[in-house]
């Protein structure tokens, strides 16, 4: 069982739409970063009134965390729990940074289940499309030996220093929806330094069972659910030490010209197991089924056809 994480993220922000953020004042010695933007207060959402509209913009997320540095022995290859590595080299092989070591693909059982539900459910269809977009050829992020981690996940076994933070459940969901890259600011022999992470991955949280916990069950009560942890492997040239504090900034891939709507204006239809929005054009309201992409908690990307600029009507069942 993994040990309890003593450190968790205490500072978080999300720049939900590039170019729509406010600035902060901080006493931290590390670089400043903007506060969370509130796009519902941004008048670019409205069209001459107080009514939000469907909008086209560049979408991306940025999170900033207080972090701790720890010794690491492995770099996980599959950063998302529903994807797995199909290796192109044998387990135990020595690999070098940048070498092709396989392909990241959707877990076959997950893909079969989502594909079966996609014909009826736009939720399954949307998630399948998200996962398909995450499939790619994998190059080893560091030099080491390809093998399995202590949890049975594919990893490059390589020692180094990781910048580590705990994620809330919501942050874990955000991370799984779109690729992120990381930048860490750490204290080094030469002073503070900001460097790009060689790899960023999430270690799944553990569940500890306690037979004395309440309520009891045949499996024992749940004593504690540990948070997922995000790890950033520092380059070897960075001279620092485990136990120091640092700052980790995660920046998502940018989706150019994405169609987005405020999340509270997306409804859910239980009968079709799908999402929808209600728009108003020339005083006439109509309901439009939609496929959805990633969200930052304020807005969500729409991946199906939706007219840009039309006014939105709050649905009875908001998602």
Residue 262: closest CA among 76, 85, 79, 42? 42
Find out whether 105 and 132 touch, Cβ atoms under 8 Å. no
Place of tokens 């999170």: 63
pLDDT value of position 306 = 95
Q: How far apart are CA 75 and CA 199, in angstroms?
A: 7
pTM over 0.85: no
Domains of the chain, by residue range, sit at 61-253, 259-313
pLDDT value of position 48 = 43
Q: How far apart are CA 162 and CA 272, in angstroms?
A: 44
The shares of helix, strand and coil residues in the chain, as percent rounded to the nearest 5, are 15, 45, 40
pLDDT value of position 10 = 33
pLDDT value of position 259 = 97
* pLDDT tens for the 319 residues of the chain, in order: 333 333 333 333 333 333 333 222 222 333 333 333 333 334 444 444 467 999 999 999 999 999 999 999 999 998 777 899 999 999 999 999 999 999 999 999 999 999 999 888 989 999 999 899 889 999 999 999 999 988 888 999 999 999 999 999 998 888 888 899 999 999 999 999 999 999 999 987 644 444 444 444 443 444 555 678 999 999 999 999 999 999 999 999 999 999 999 999 999 999 889 999 999 998 899 999 999 999 999 999 999 999 999 999 998 754 4
Find out whether 317 and 278 touch, Cβ atoms under 8 Å. no
pLDDT value of position 225 = 57
DSSP string, 254-317: PEEEEEEEEGGG-EEETTTTEEEEEEEETTEEEEEEE-EEEE-SSEEEE-S---TTPEEE--SS
Question: At a CB cut-off of 8 Å and minimum separation 6, what does 209 contact?
Answer: 219, 220, 221, 222, 223
Which helix or strand (DSSP H or E) is residue 142 part of?
A: none
Residue 14: closest CA among 186, 201, 170? 170
Question: At a CB cut-off of 8 Å and minimum separation 6, what does 129 contact?
Answer: 291, 293, 303
């Amino acid at each position: 069982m993994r040990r309890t994480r003593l450190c968790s993220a205490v500072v978080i922000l999300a720049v939900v739409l590039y170019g729509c953020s406010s600035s902060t004042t901080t006493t931290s010695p590390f670089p400043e970063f903007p506060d969370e933007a509130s796009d519902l207060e941004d008048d670019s959402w409205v069209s001459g009134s107080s009514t939000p509209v469907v909008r086209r913009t560049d979408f991306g997320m940025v999170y900033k965390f207080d972090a701790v540095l720890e010794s690491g022995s492995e770099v996980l290859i599959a950063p998302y729990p529903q994807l797995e590595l199909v290796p192109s080299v044998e387990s135990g092989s020595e690999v070098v940074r940048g070498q092709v070591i396989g392909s990241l693909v959707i877990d076959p059982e997950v893909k079969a289940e989502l594909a079966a539900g996609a014909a009826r459910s736009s939720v399954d269809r949307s998630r399948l499309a998200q996962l398909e977009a995450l499939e790619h050829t994998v190059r080893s992020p560091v030099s080491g030996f390809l093998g399995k981690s202590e949890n049975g996940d594919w990893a490059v076994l390589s020692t180094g220093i990781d910048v580590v933070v705990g994620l809330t459940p919501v942050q874990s969901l955000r991370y799984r929806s779109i690729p992120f890259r990381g930048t860490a600011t750490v204290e080094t022999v030469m002073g503070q330094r900001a460097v790009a992470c060689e790899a960023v991955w999430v270690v799944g949280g553990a569940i500890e069972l306690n037979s004395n916990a309440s309520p009891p069950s045949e499996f024992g009560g749940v004593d504690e659910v540990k948070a997922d942890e995000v790890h950033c492997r520092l380059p070897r040239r960075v001279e620092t030490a485990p136990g120091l504090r640092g700052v980790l900034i995660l920046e998502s891939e940018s989706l150019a010209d994405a169609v987005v709507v405020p999340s509270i204006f997306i409804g859910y239809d239980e009968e079709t197991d799908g999402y929808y929005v209600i728009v108003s054009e020339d005083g006439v309201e109509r309901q439009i089924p939609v496929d959805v992409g990633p969200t930052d908690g304020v807005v969500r990307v729409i991946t199906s056809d939706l007219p840009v600029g039309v006014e939105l009507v709050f649905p009875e069942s908001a998602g």
